[in-house]
Structure 1
Amino acid sequence: MSTDTPPTTSTSRRRWLVLAIIGLAQLMVVLDATIVNIALPSAQADLGFTDESRQWIVTSYALAFGSLLLLGGRLGDVFGRKRVFIVGLAGFAGASALGGFASSFGMLVGARALQGAFGALLAPAALSLLTTTFTEPQERNRAFSVFGVIGASGAAIGLILGGALTELLDWRWTMFVNLFLAVPAAVAALRLLPRDAVAGQRTPIDLPGTLTASGGLFALVYGFSSAESDGWGAPITIAALVAGVALLVAFVVVERRVEHPLLPLRVVAHRARAGGFLAIALVGAGLFGVFLFLTYYMQQTLGFSPLESGLAFLPLMAMLMPTGAIGQMRLLPRFGPRPVVAAGMALSAGAMLMLTGVEAGSSYASAVLPALLVIGVGLGLVFGIAMDTAVRGVEGADAGVASALVNTGQQIGGSIGTALLSTLAAGAAGAYASSHPGVADLAAQSAVHGYTVAFTWSAAIFAVGAIAAWVLLPSEAPDVAVGAEPVFAH
C-alpha cells in the first residue's frame, strides 16, 4: 500500500494492538521502580542483608537503567526497534526470574542491575515505536494520552501491586509478576510489530560518546544515591557528582565533533523539545515527593499497611486518567502545550502546598485525599503532552535516542528529587527534634515536620516547572504533520 493511502480499519486496529503491547512494556518498566520498595523489609528478613545494604536493591536498578538509556535508544535506531524491544522484554523477564529465585543478597542485586540494563533497551524502544506508529494527529494524541497516563500512574500501580503481592503471596512475586507482562508482550510483538527496515550499512556506534555519556550518567545517579545515604558533604558524593558533570561536559564536546554522534545535538537544540525534556525531568524530581513521603506518612504516622497505603493512591489515578485524555485530545489541539503543561505544573505545586498542612493527628480524608485529587489533575495535564512535545518532529533516525532522553530526564530527575528531598526532610526532622525536646510523641512530630518541608520543596520544583513550561513550550497547537511516516503505511 502506498504511503498516500488512508489507513484501513485493519491497520488502524493493528496499531491499537501495538499500543497495548507498548503500554504493557512501559508499565512494567515504570512500576518496577516502586514495586520492590514495599517488598524490601520482607526480602531483607528472608535473605538476611543489613539495613546499610538495603539501598542497593533500588540503587543497582537505577544505576544500570539511568546510565545505559542513551545507548539503548541509539541501539534501537541502528539495529531496529522491534529487535531491541523484544530483546529488552526477554532480558527483563529473565532478570526478573533470576531475582525471584535469588538465594542471596548479591544475586538479587545482580538481577536488579540486569533489569535496569534491559529496561534501558526496552523503554526508549517503546516510546520510539509509539512515535513512529502513530503519526495521524488525532490517533497520536489519543495514543500519547494513554502512554502518559501509564507513565504517571505506573509508580502508584507499583505500590499497590507490591503491597498486594507481598501481603497475599510472597516478596518474590514482585519479581515474578514481570513474567506475566513481558512474555505475552514479547510473543505479541513478534506477530504484530512490522519488520525492522534497517539500512544495509549501519551507522557505527559512537564509542567515545557512549563511554562519556554512560559514565557521566552513572556517576550522577551514584552521586545522588550517595547523597541520600551518606550526605552531600561525603567525599564519595562530591567525587561522583564532580566526575558526572565533567564526563557529561566531555560528552557534549565529543558529540560536537564526531561524525555519527550518540546524541545528535539537533535533538536537544530545538526549543520546544528542550522544554518537553525539562518538564519531564522536573516532574520526575517533584513526583517522588508525593510517592516517597506520602508512603512514609501513611504507613508510619497513619498506621496504614503496605497494601492500604498503595490503595490510598487510587484517587490520584482516578483523576489522572480522564484528565490525561482531555488534555491530550481536547486542550492540546486548541491551546498548544504551553498553557496546558504550565497549568498542570501549577496545580501540582498547589497540591504539594496543600500537603504541607498534614499533622501527626490528621486523617487521610481531610489532609491527604484532596491533594491527591488535585495532583492527579495536574499530572494528567503534564505527562503525555510533555512526552509528545519532547519527541515531536524528530527525524526517524533519531527517534530512539530522543525517546531515551525522555526516560533519562525522568530517571535523573527522580534521582535528584529523591536525594534532595530526603536530605532536606532528614535535616528538618533533626532540627525540629533538637529544638522541641519536650514535645509529646517527638519522633512522630519530627518526622511529619520533615515531610512537610519535603512537600514545600516539591511545590517549589513544580513551580519552576510551570515557569519553564511557559517560557520554553510553544503556545501554538502542534502541526498536523509530525514529521514521521506511519509504521504500517508501507
Structure 2
Amino acid sequence: MGQPAPRTNRSPWLTIAVLCVGQMMIVIDQNIVNVALPAVQRGLGISAENLVWVVNAYVIPFGGLLLLAGRLGDLIGRKTIFLTGIALFSAASLLCGFAGNEASLIGFRFVQGVGGAIASACILGMVATMFSEPRKQAQAIGAYSFASAGGGAVGPLLGGVLTQYLNWHWIFFINAPIGAVLVLTGLRAVPKERGQGLGKGTDFLGALLVTAGMMLLVYTIVDAERVGWGAAQTLILGPLSILLLAGFVVRQATVAQPLLPLRIFGSRSLTAANIVQFMMIAGMFGLLFFGTLYVQRVLGYGPLQAGLGFVPIAVVIAAVSLGLSARLITRFGQRPMLFTGLVLIVAAFVLLSFARVDGTYVADFLPASLVMGLGFGLAAPAMMGLGMAAVTPEESGIASGLFNTTQQIGGAIGLTVLSAFVTSRTDSLKNAGHSEASALVGGYHVAFLLAAGFVAVALVIGAVMLRATGQQTERAQADAPAEPDVAVS
C-alpha cells in the first residue's frame, strides 16, 4: 500500500479513535431518526406522505456526494475534508434540532447529509493507511468496521432513549457537542497531509455528472417504493441517472485529469470487495429494518425495548472486530475470514426465517442476532482489508468513497427490493384469511430468506473473483516483520 510516512508525535490510535467516533456518529444518525419519526411527525405536524423526506433528504446527498468527496480528499487533503464535513454535519444537526416546521427540518437534513458525506468519504482511506504492519492494520480496519456496524445497532437504542426520556429534538442536538470535540481533537490528533493538488483531478464536468447521477439514482431508488417500480417517474429517472453515470465513466476514460481514475478498477480484489459489500449490505439492511419491525409489531416491544434488543449484536461485533478478527486474519488470511463470516451471516438469516408468530426474543431473535454479529465482525474487516490493500495511499480517498457509495446504494436497493416482496407476501396472506401477525411474520420470512440469498451471492462472487488473488501476498504480509507505529500523512 505504498511507503509509510515518517513517524509523527501523534498517537496513531488517538487518530483512529477520532476517525471511528466520527464514523459512528454519522452512522448512528442514519438510524436514530427512524425510531423518532412518529414523535417528529406529531411535533411538526408533518403529513404521512412527507414524513419519508425527513429520511430521504439526508440519504440523497449522502449517497450522491461520496465519490466526489473521497476524490477531493485525495486532492485537497483528507484531514481538511474530514474536519470540514464534521463541522458542517454538526452545525446542520444543531439547526435540525431547532427546526420549527417541516420545510426547515427537511432542508437542514439535506445539509446534514452533505456534511455526513464529506466527513465519511475519506475515513476508511485514512484508517486503512495508518499502519503498515499487517496485524495493526487489521485492528484499525476492525475498529472502523465496528464503528460502522455498531453505529447501526446502537442507533435505534439511542433514538428510543432520547425520544422517550427527553424529546425528538435531542436526536439532533446530541451531535453538536460530539462534533465540536471531534473537530478540536482532530485538529491536533489527525496528521496534516498534503493533497495532490486540484490540478491533478479538477474535472468539474465529471464532478457534475457523477454527483447528479448518484443523487438522481438514490432518489429514484428510495422513492420507488412509494410511487412503484413501474411508475413513469421511476421509468424516466432511473434510465436518466444511469445515462448520467455512463457519461461520467466515458468522461473519466477520456479526460486528461480524471476525477475517478478508472485504473483502480483494474484491481480484482478492490472490485470484488465492493461487489461483495454491495450484496452483503443489501441483505444486512433486512436485519436492521425487518428485525426491528418483528420485535415491535409481533413481539410487542416498545421503541426502547426494541433498541435494547440490538445491543447483543453490537457487543458481539465489537468483541470480534476490535480483537478477534485481527488475530484470525493475521493467522489465516483475509479470504478465509471473509468466507467464514459470509457463511455465518447466511446461517443467521436462515435462522430468522423460522421466527414464530407466538415466539420470544430469547428463542426467535437473539440466537440469530448473535450469529449475525459474529459473521459480520469477521467478514467486514477482511472485506475492507482486501479492497484497500490494492490501493495506493494517494488514491485511498476515492477508494474509501467508493466503498461508502456501494454500501449506500446496496442498502437502498436491498431495502427497496425486500420491502416490495414483504408487502406482496403480507397482502397475499391477509387476503387468504391469515391474522395480521401471521401475515406480517410470513412477509418477514420472505425478507430474511431473500437477504440470505443476497449474502449467498456475495459468497459465490467472492469465491470466484478472489480465488486467484493474493494468497501468496497474504502469507507474505502475515510473515512480514512488525514495523513501528506510523501515521501516514
TM-score normalised to the size of structure 2? 0.93
Alignment of 1:256-295 (within 5 A): 256-295=253-292
Contact 1:148-1:384 within 8 A present in 2 as well: yes
Structure 2 unmatched runs, 5+: none
Change (3 A) 1:384 1:175: same
Contact 2:54-2:109 within 8 A present in 1 as well: yes
- Partner of residue 21, structure 1: 18
State the Cα deviation string for residues 346-391 of structure 1 (Å, max 9, x = none).
1111111111111221111111111001111110111122122222
Matched positions, count? 480
**Which residue among 65, 80, 83 is the counterpart of 2:80?**
83
Matched, 1:116 2:113: yes
Counterparts of 1:385 and 1:331 in 2: how far apart (Å)? 10
Counterparts of 2:315 and 2:189 in 1: how far apart (Å)? 31
Counterparts of 1:399 and 1:381 in 2: how far apart (Å)? 22
Matched, 1:100 2:97: yes
- Partner of residue 192, structure 1: 189
Change (3 A) 1:383 1:368: same
Counterparts of 2:71 and 2:364 in 1: how far apart (Å)? 45
Deviation at residue 194 of structure 1 after TM alignment: 2.4
Deviation at residue 162 of structure 1 after TM alignment: 0.6
Deviation at residue 130 of structure 1 after TM alignment: 1.3
Contact 1:394-1:402 within 8 A present in 2 as well: yes
- Partner of residue 310, structure 1: 307
Alignment of 1:312-461 (within 5 A): 312-325=309-322, 328-434=325-431, 436-437=432-433, 439=434, 442-461=435-454
Change (3 A) 1:450 1:203: same
State the Cα deviation string for residues 74-128 of structure 1 (Å, max 9, x = none).
1111111111111111100000001000001111111111111111110122222
- Partner of residue 169, structure 2: 172
Counterparts of 2:385 and 2:322 in 1: how far apart (Å)? 13
SS at match of 2:385: helix
Deviation at residue 224 of structure 1 after TM alignment: 1.2
Counterparts of 2:39 and 2:404 in 1: how far apart (Å)? 30
Deviation at residue 336 of structure 1 after TM alignment: 2.5
Counterparts of 1:266 and 1:252 in 2: how far apart (Å)? 12
Deviation at residue 7 of structure 1 after TM alignment: 5.0
Contact 1:194-1:487 within 8 A present in 2 as well: no
SS at match of 1:213: helix
Counterparts of 2:323 and 2:14 in 1: how far apart (Å)? 22
Contact 1:84-1:122 within 8 A present in 2 as well: yes
Contact 1:96-1:178 within 8 A present in 2 as well: yes
Contact 1:226-1:236 within 8 A present in 2 as well: no
Contact 1:342-1:467 within 8 A present in 2 as well: no
Deviation at residue 479 of structure 1 after TM alignment: 5.1
Change (3 A) 1:475 1:325: farther
Structure 1 stretch displaced more, 405-414 or 255-264: 255-264
Deviation at residue 331 of structure 1 after TM alignment: 2.3
Amino acid at match of 1:465: A
- Partner of residue 217, structure 1: 214
- Partner of residue 470, structure 1: 463
Contact 1:227-1:423 within 8 A present in 2 as well: no
Counterparts of 1:464 and 1:163 in 2: how far apart (Å)? 34
SS at match of 1:133: coil
TM-score normalised to the size of structure 1? 0.93
Amino acid at match of 2:238: L
| Moved beyond 6 Å, runs of 4+ | 3-6
Counterparts of 1:4 and 1:405 in 2: how far apart (Å)? 23
Counterparts of 2:4 and 2:440 in 1: how far apart (Å)? 62
Counterparts of 1:472 and 1:85 in 2: how far apart (Å)? 32
SS at match of 1:362: coil
Matched, 1:239 2:232: no
SS at match of 1:304: coil
